[in-house]
């Protein structure tokens, strides 16, 4: 909901996500798909649209689409049709893109997205279809010429179309994050937005709550979740301003300029292409054996929603913590190693979410490239749980681990960080603090119990943090009582 | 002994095996004939050096007892088949300079069987035409002429170069393709045999596409036996063509000489057109009589949607063509006419590269697929197409094969019908239904017109039942005893 001069406006958003299918070969040719190769080195004659060349469907890509459709709780269509979408562009060698128009491989599904207030919202999925990616036009290498790189031409994409059920830029962001999580779990797309493996078109319109749908604009090819949120935010405000100024929205395609944070016209409806879709006569209808669908279903990994529910039930985590942990399969797996056999799963979750993720974030690394393993973190938590080290020391030990990649036990031994639980040693330290601070002791005893914490701090400081905090509390309380 | 160029493939095969002559002798004779008959304009590209080299290889294999089914047989290849290292034009300026780095599956099958390539034959541009007059390389002359007339006639199209080369004894056989009649009509016009097999029988991989759901390759030869030999070598299941059908290819020669006693052949009443030339009518009656004499039984059948076949074809084929030909954009291969923008480059290249007929069909195809027209034209045409196919399914409950004329007339003069595309399209009236239904059809020469020109009869079979076509056409061939030859 956004507030304009004439009151509140509801934003209506539908997203089209283009997810590059994880597959060694392209959708209709045997050419490889690796990212970052020299231009035009991963191109077959099929991809280059040479005369007489014919497409042959890649089974792996079909299986990935089925897998993804199942992950989207969607209907897998046993018969689907490939169509040609005709338009001229230099990076579209055949003059048509092979896509699915009227009969996609997947239709009617849903996902639950996590909202900031901890609630979830169910968002409908209209369809998922397979299509070819285009090549790349490079305009900045020559004053007059455009260069073409066909490496990406023919790579398989899954276009995942949501229903127009998203109502805020944040929901759109949450939806995208969820799609990304899901396809990464399924292994059907690497979700890498920097390399363009996941791209998004956003259809945005505004209306007064309860009113008819407004005219929409489509924002093309936004390549980060942050930009999608920004672009929708900007676009919705732009539309509200136009309508409130007495204007009307023109249906058009717009581009997001991320340097300026604005959307601008790419082409208006009058200039929209007539794609002249028709079934590709080079390809038979795609007919799926129900057995294949069942096989793929049986082999699906535990998906994020199920995993999240399990984390809440099994480890008594908050839904929020659980959703953070399951966002990446690797994080969830990491956590499950750390938490194994532990009395306090919540503590383990905190260490992973707050300390480890914080450290990785600072280092610009992710869980896969983490300097410490899940077993190493578990080893540290063992020392904490058996009182070898205190919570405070644990943070220091963790810092050293991140720096050096060494085990906690090694660091504790080398640096002499073993926690002092010997009450004699702690008593001596307390006695010294009490003796050195007679004035404070008097103040405490005259009715300022809040000073207790200050005494604890002094004792910890004097023991270099190694004293067992519980023992310190207990002995200090007795001694201060006089 | 007869001239080497007069031999059939079957006879040449025997001669080679008996070492009566070498493959090089045989090829040299045809290379010489090709040079001598250049006036026909049957070839766009001649490859005599390659032919002799391949013939040498054949002689080596023959000597080693390792001969293939077409070992040492000199063939012509329609210039719609991509041939590795040899310019392939599709009869169009837009492919200027295009030398494929790959070999079409069908031609590769022929080379694997030991055949020798003489060159690439002329054709209507992108196989769009019934006269060979739309070729950017000029029309082909039919080796036949009307009695007592010097006027050049068309060989039919689009495989006019292939049909003319076989009729003129330049090649022993030739590859051809048929989208609406492009094998059968030129075969009829040139007095030779041409078979379009069932859709999916031959791989389309490496053949420049015209209309993908209709295009099929097949051979043109001088007799039915040769067609059976060549057909078997050309056909194969090919995983590179998703529409190719995984079925074994039978030994078609084994179908020759079988009795047709008791066979029922259908005579579709809708093929008796108003105003059909009496000599075509007479030829058809003669065909019926020959089959009857051989013990077969005529059955009156109805193919009620026949009258919609031509309009359906002229929606479906251009629609697919408009999309298939989008790749000729001057960006990656072939002709490029520069411009100040990419749109200008497209317009200049395609404007200069495509001839009038191709442009006409791209326009029709683009129109029928446009938003707002798709349902009325393309979708409707697909529905009618299904009805046409159903007509045949129904008919084959009552008969085993269907007999019709191949074309409504004999060959016409070069330049005729050029200003009337609809009259030109009518050439396909008996042949397009077969493509729309995906069935096999064969044309064989069965008689001469009053003007001394060859006339063809067509047999249409059930899907994948080319064998019956060979059996029955072989019977007709013997009954017809067609021995006339051009230029006699």
Structure-token pair, residue A119: 């609630």
Name A270's Cβ contacts closer than 8 Å, sequence gap at least 6: none
Nearest of A140, A145, A76, A73 to residue A109 by alpha carbon: A73
Nearest of A68, A197, A169 to residue A113 by alpha carbon: A169
Which residue is listed with tokens 């169009």?
B92
Residues of B in contact with A277 (CB under 8 A): 369, 374
Q: Which of A86, A95, A282 is facing B242, going by the closest CB pair?
A: A282
Q: Best mutation site among B242, B318, B363 for testing chain A: the one with the most A CBs within 10 Å? A: B242
| Å between A350 CA and nearest CA of chain B | 55
Q: Which of A45, A88, A278 is facing B319, going by the closest CB pair?
A: A278
Look at A95 and B323 and tell me if their CB atoms are within 8 Å.
yes
When pLDDT is averaged across residues B238-256 and rounded to a whole number, the result is: 97
Q: What integer pLDDT is reported at residue B1 of this predicted model?
A: 54
Of 3.40.630.30, 3.90.1300.10, 3.90.870.10, 3.30.360.10, the CATH number of B4-258 is: 3.90.1300.10
Q: Best mutation site among A30, A31, A276 for testing chain B: the one with the most B CBs within 10 Å? A: A276
Residue B449 phi, psi dihedral angles, 5° rounding: -75, 170
Q: Residue B340's closest chain A neighbor by CA? A: A144
Does the beta carbon of B30 lie under 8 angstroms from any beta carbon of chain A?
Answer: no
Distance separating the N- and C-terminal Cα atoms of chain B? 19
Look at A51 and B326 and tell me if their CB atoms are within 8 Å.
no
Structure-token pair, residue A182: 């899901």
Structure-token pair, residue A237: 């405000």
CA–CA gap between residue A404 and residue A397 (Å, rounded): 10
From residue A207, give the alpha-carbon distance in Å to each of A241, A244, B323.
12, 11, 40
Question: Which of the residues B22, B78, B104, B236 is marked catalytic?
Answer: B78
Q: Residue B333's closest chain A neighbor by CA? A: A50
When pLDDT is averaged across residues B20-24 and rounded to a whole number, the result is: 98
Which residue is listed with tokens 């392209």?
A26
| Å between A335 CA and nearest CA of chain B | 47
Other beta carbons within 10 Å of A78: 14
Q: Which of A52, A56, A90 is facing B208, going by the closest CB pair?
A: A52
> Of A281, A296, A311, at which residue does a domain stop?
A296
| Å between A187 CA and nearest CA of chain B | 27
State the alpha helices, DSSP H only, in A136-198: 169-186
Does the beta carbon of B130 lie under 8 angstroms from any beta carbon of chain A?
Answer: no
Buried b (16+ CB within 10 A) or exposed e, A180-213: bbbbbbbebbbbebeebbbbbbbbbbbbeeeeee
Look at B369 and A278 and tell me if their CB atoms are within 8 Å.
yes
Cβ under 8 Å to A: B residues 47-86: 81-82
Q: What is the pLDDT of residues B34-56, one digit of tens each?
A: 999 999 999 999 999 999 999 99
Q: What is the pLDDT of residues B321-350, one digit of tens each?
A: 999 999 999 999 999 999 999 999 999 999
Name A468's Cβ contacts closer than 8 Å, sequence gap at least 6: A387, A390, A419, A420, A421, A426
Residues of B in contact with A56 (CB under 8 A): 239-242
CA torsion through residues A417, A418, A421, A425, sign: negative
**Structural domain containing residue A193:** 2-296
In a domain, A341, yes or no: no
Other beta carbons within 10 Å of B78: 33
CA angle A132, A137, A138 (to 5 degrees): 145
Name B405's Cβ contacts closer than 8 Å, sequence gap at least 6: B271, B276, B280, B283, B284, B430, B455, B456, B457, B458
Buried b (16+ CB within 10 A) or exposed e, B446-459: bbbbeebbbbbbbb
CA–CA gap between residue B380 and residue B392 (Å, rounded): 19
Under DSSP, the state recorded for A25 is B
Q: What integer pLDDT is reported at residue B423 of this predicted model?
A: 78
Interface of A with B (CB under 8 A): 45, 48-57, 84, 86, 88, 90, 93-96, 146, 148, 274, 276-278, 281-284
Residues of A in contact with B362 (CB under 8 A): none
Look at B378 and A278 and tell me if their CB atoms are within 8 Å.
yes
Q: What is the pLDDT of residues B277-309, one digit of tens each?
A: 899 999 999 999 999 999 999 999 999 999 999
Q: Consecutive sets of 10 residues in chain A, 482 residues long: mean pLDDT of each?
A: 89 98 97 93 97 98 98 98 96 97 98 87 98 94 90 97 97 96 97 93 95 94 93 96 94 92 84 90 98 98 96 94 93 96 93 95 92 95 87 89 92 80 82 89 87 88 82 87 76
Residues of B in contact with A283 (CB under 8 A): 242-243
User: Chain A to chain B, count of Cβ pairs less than 8 Å apart?
Assistant: 99
CB B319 within 8 A of CB B362: no
Look at A54 and B323 and tell me if their CB atoms are within 8 Å.
no
CA–CA gap between residue B215 and residue B179 (Å, rounded): 4
Query: Which one is predicted more confidently, B109 or A273?
Result: B109
Other beta carbons within 10 Å of B372: 7
Does the beta carbon of B101 lie under 8 angstroms from any beta carbon of chain A?
Answer: yes
CA–CA gap between residue A30 and residue A415 (Å, rounded): 57
Residues of B in contact with A55 (CB under 8 A): 242
Look at A148 and B327 and tell me if their CB atoms are within 8 Å.
no
From residue A118, give the alpha-carbon distance in Å to each of A132, A167, A289, B218.
38, 17, 40, 68
Q: What is the pLDDT of residues B338-381, one digit of tens each?
A: 999 999 999 999 999 999 999 999 999 999 999 999 999 999 99
Q: pTM of this prediction?
A: 0.91
Q: Which of B81, B101, B342 is facing A90, going by the closest CB pair?
A: B342
Are residues A132 and A267 located together in one domain of the fold?
A: yes
In 3-state terms, what secondary structure has residue B146? coil
SS3 content of chain B, % helix, strand, coil (to 5): 45, 15, 45
CB A210 within 8 A of CB A229: no
Q: Which of B241, B346, B370 is facing A88, going by the closest CB pair?
A: B346
Q: What is the pLDDT of residues B386-437, one digit of tens each?
A: 999 999 999 999 999 999 999 999 999 998 888 887 778 888 999 999 999 9
Q: Best mutation site among B77, B79, B324 for testing chain A: the one with the most A CBs within 10 Å? A: B324
Residues of B in contact with A40 (CB under 8 A): none
CA–CA gap between residue B160 and residue B117 (Å, rounded): 18
CA–CA gap between residue A68 and residue A187 (Å, rounded): 9
Look at B242 and A283 and tell me if their CB atoms are within 8 Å.
yes
Question: Which of the residues B104, B107, B182, B409 is marked catalytic?
Answer: B182
Does the beta carbon of B95 lie under 8 angstroms from any beta carbon of chain A?
Answer: yes
Cβ under 8 Å to A: B residues 192-251: 204-209, 211-213, 239-243
Q: Which of A49, A148, A278 is facing B327, going by the closest CB pair?
A: A49
Residue B218 phi, psi dihedral angles, 5° rounding: -165, 175
> Of A268, A296, A324, at which residue does a domain stop?
A296
Residues of A in contact with B104 (CB under 8 A): 52
Nearest of A223, A227, A254, A226 to residue A238 by alpha carbon: A254
Under DSSP, the state recorded for B429 is T
Q: Residue B239's closest chain A neighbor by CA? A: A56
Name B439's Cβ contacts closer than 8 Å, sequence gap at least 6: B198, B199, B392, B460, B461, B462, B463
Element (H, E) at B341: none
Which residue is listed with tokens 């195809």?
B365
CB A83 within 8 A of CB A41: no
CB A381 within 8 A of CB A356: no
Is B258 a catalytic site residue?
no
Structure-token pair, residue B158: 């689009």
CA–CA gap between residue A233 and residue A219 (Å, rounded): 12
Residues of B in contact with A132 (CB under 8 A): none
CA torsion through residues B178, B181, B184, B188, sign: negative
CA–CA gap between residue A90 and residue A459 (Å, rounded): 74
Look at A54 and B240 and tell me if their CB atoms are within 8 Å.
yes
Look at B205 and A53 and tell me if their CB atoms are within 8 Å.
yes
Q: Residue A278's closest chain B neighbor by CA? A: B369
Is B78 a catalytic site residue?
yes
In a domain, A46, yes or no: yes
What does B51-82 look like in DSSP terms, one character per residue?
HHHHHHHHHHHHHTT---TTTT-EEEEETTB-
Element (H, E) at B411: none
What is the Cα A230 distance to its own chain's centre? 17
Structure-token pair, residue A366: 């992710």
Residues of A in contact with B95 (CB under 8 A): 51
Q: What is the interface pTM, i.e. ipTM, of the complex? A: 0.96
Buried b (16+ CB within 10 A) or exposed e, A346-360: ebbbebbbebbbebb
Structure-token pair, residue A253: 């395609």
Under DSSP, the state recorded for B141 is P
Under DSSP, the state recorded for B278 is H
Question: Which of the residues B158, B159, B449, B473 is marked catalytic?
Answer: B158
Residues of B in contact with A278 (CB under 8 A): 319-320, 323, 369, 374, 378
Confidence category of residue B488, pLDDT binned at 50, 70, 90: low
Look at A278 and B323 and tell me if their CB atoms are within 8 Å.
yes
Q: How many domains does chain A have?
A: 2
| Å between B198 CA and nearest CA of chain A | 16
Q: What integer pLDDT is reported at residue A273 of this predicted model?
A: 83
> Of A296, A321, A342, at which residue does a domain stop?
A296
CA–CA gap between residue B18 and residue B428 (Å, rounded): 43
In a domain, A14, yes or no: yes
What is the Cα A74 distance to its own chain's centre? 21
Does the beta carbon of B425 lie under 8 angstroms from any beta carbon of chain A?
Answer: no
What is the Cα B287 distance to its own chain's centre? 22
Query: Which residues partner with B447 through β-bridges?
Result: B455
């Amino acid at each position: 909901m956004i507030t304009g001069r004439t009151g509140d406006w509801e934003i209506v958003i539908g997203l089209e996500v283009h997810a590059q299918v994880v597959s060694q070969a392209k959708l209709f040719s045997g050419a490889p798909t690796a990212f970052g190769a020299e231009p035009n080195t991963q191109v077959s004659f099929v991809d280059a649209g040479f005369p007489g060349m014919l497409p042959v469907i890649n089974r792996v890509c079909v299986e990935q689409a089925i897998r993804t459709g199942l992950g989207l709780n969607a209907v897998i269509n046993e018969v689907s049709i490939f169509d040609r979408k005709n338009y001229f562009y230099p990076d579209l060698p055949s003059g048509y893109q092979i896509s699915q128009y009227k009969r996609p491989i997947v239709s009617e599904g849903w996902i639950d997205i996590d909202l900031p207030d901890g609630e979830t919202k169910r968002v409908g999925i209209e369809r998922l279809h397979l299509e070819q990616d285009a090549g790349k036009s490079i305009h900045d290498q020559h004053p007059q010429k455009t260069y073409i790189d066909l490496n990406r031409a023919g790579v398989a994409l899954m276009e995942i179309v949501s229903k127009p059920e998203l109502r805020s830029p944040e929901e759109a962001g949450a939806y995208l994050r969820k799609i990304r999580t899901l396809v990464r779990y399924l292994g059907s797309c690497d979700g890498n937005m920097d390399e363009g493996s996941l791209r998004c078109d956003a259809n945005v319109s505004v209306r007064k709550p309860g009113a008819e749908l407004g005219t929409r604009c489509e924002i093309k090819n936004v390549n980060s979740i942050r930009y999608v949120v920004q672009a929708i935010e900007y676009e919705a405000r732009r539309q509200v301003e136009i309508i409130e100024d007495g204007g009307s929205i023109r249906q058009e395609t717009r581009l997001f300029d991320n340097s300026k944070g604005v959307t601008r016209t790419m082409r208006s409806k009058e200039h929209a292409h007539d794609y002249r879709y028709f079934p590709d006569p080079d390809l038979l209808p795609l007919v799926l054996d129900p057995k294949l669908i069942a096989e793929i279903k049986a082999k699906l990994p535990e998906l994020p929603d199920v995993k999240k529910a399990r984390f809440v039930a099994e480890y008594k985590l908050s839904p929020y913590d659980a959703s953070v942990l399951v966002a990446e399969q690797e994080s969830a797996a990491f956590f499950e190693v750390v938490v194994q056999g532990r009395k306090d799963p919540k503590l383990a979750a905190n260490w992973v979410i707050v300390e480890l993720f914080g450290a990785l974030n600072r280092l610009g690394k992710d869980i896969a490239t983490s300097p410490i393993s899940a077993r190493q973190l578990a080893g540290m938590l063992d020392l904490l749980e058996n009182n070898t080290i205190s919570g405070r020391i644990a943070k220091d030990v963790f810092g050293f681990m991140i720096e050096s990649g060494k085990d906690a036990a090694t660091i504790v031994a080398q640096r002499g960080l073993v926690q002092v639980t010997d009450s004699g040693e702690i008593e001596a330290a307390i006695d010294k603090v009490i003796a050195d601070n007679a004035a404070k002791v008097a103040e405490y005893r005259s009715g300022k119990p809040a000073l207790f914490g200050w005494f604890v701090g002094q004792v910890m400081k004097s023991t270099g943090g190694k004293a067992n905090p519980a023992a310190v509390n207990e002995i200090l309380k007795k001694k201060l009582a006089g | 002994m007869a001239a080497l160029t007069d031999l059939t493939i079957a006879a040449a095969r025997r001669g080679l095996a008996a070492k009566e002559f070498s493959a090089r002798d045989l090829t040299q004779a045809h290379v010489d004939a090709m040079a001598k008959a250049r006036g026909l304009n049957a070839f766009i590209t001649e490859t005599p050096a390659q032919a002799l080299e391949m013939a040498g290889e054949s002689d080596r294999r023959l000597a080693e007892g390792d001969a293939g089914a077409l070992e040492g047989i000199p063939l012509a290849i329609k210039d719609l088949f991509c041939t590795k290292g040899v310019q392939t034009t599709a009869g169009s300026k837009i492919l200027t300079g295009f030398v494929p780095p790959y070999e079409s599956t069908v031609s590769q099958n022929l080379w694997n069987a030991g055949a020798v390539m003489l060159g690439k034959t002329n054709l209507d541009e992108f196989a769009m035409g019934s006269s060979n007059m739309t070729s950017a390389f000029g029309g082909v002359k039919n080796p036949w002429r009307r009695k007592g007339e010097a006027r050049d006639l068309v060989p039919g199209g689009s495989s006019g170069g292939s049909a003319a080369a076989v009729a003129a004894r330049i090649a022993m056989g030739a590859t051809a393709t048929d989208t609406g009649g492009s094998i059968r009509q030129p075969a009829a016009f040139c007095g030779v045999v041409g078979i379009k097999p069932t859709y999916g029988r031959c791989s389309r991989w490496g053949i420049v596409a015209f209309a993908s759901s209709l295009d099929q390759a097949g051979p043109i030869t001088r007799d039915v036996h040769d067609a059976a030999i060549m057909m078997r070598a050309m056909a194969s299941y090919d995983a590179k063509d998703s529409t190719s059908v995984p079925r074994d290819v039978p030994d078609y020669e084994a179908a020759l000489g079988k009795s047709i006693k008791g066979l029922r052949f259908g005579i579709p009443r809708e093929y008796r057109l108003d105003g059909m030339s009496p000599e075509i009518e007479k030829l058809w009656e003669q065909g019926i009589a020959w089959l009857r004499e051989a013990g077969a039984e005529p059955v009156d059948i109805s193919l009620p949607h026949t009258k919609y076949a031509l309009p359906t074809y002229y929606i479906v084929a251009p629609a697919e063509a408009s999309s298939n030909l989008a790749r000729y954009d001057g960006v990656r291969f072939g002709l490029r006419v520069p411009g100040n923008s990419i749109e200008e480059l497209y317009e200049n290249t395609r404007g200069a590269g495509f001839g009038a007929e191709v442009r006409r069909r791209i326009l029709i195809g683009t129109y029928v697929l446009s938003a707002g027209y798709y349902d009325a034209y393309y979708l409707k045409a697909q529905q009618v197409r299904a009805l046409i196919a159903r007509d045949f399914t129904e008919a084959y409950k009552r008969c085993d094969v269907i007999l019709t004329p191949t074309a409504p007339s004999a060959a016409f003069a070069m330049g005729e019908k050029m200003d009337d595309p609809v009259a030109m399209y009518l050439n396909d009236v008996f042949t397009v239904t077969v493509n729309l239904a995906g069935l096999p059809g064969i044309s064989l020469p069965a008689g001469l017109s009053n003007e001394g020109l060859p006339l063809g009869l067509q047999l249409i079979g059930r899907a994948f039942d080319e064998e019956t076509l060979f059996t029955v056409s072989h019977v007709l061939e013997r009954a017809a005893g067609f021995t006339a030859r051009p230029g006699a």
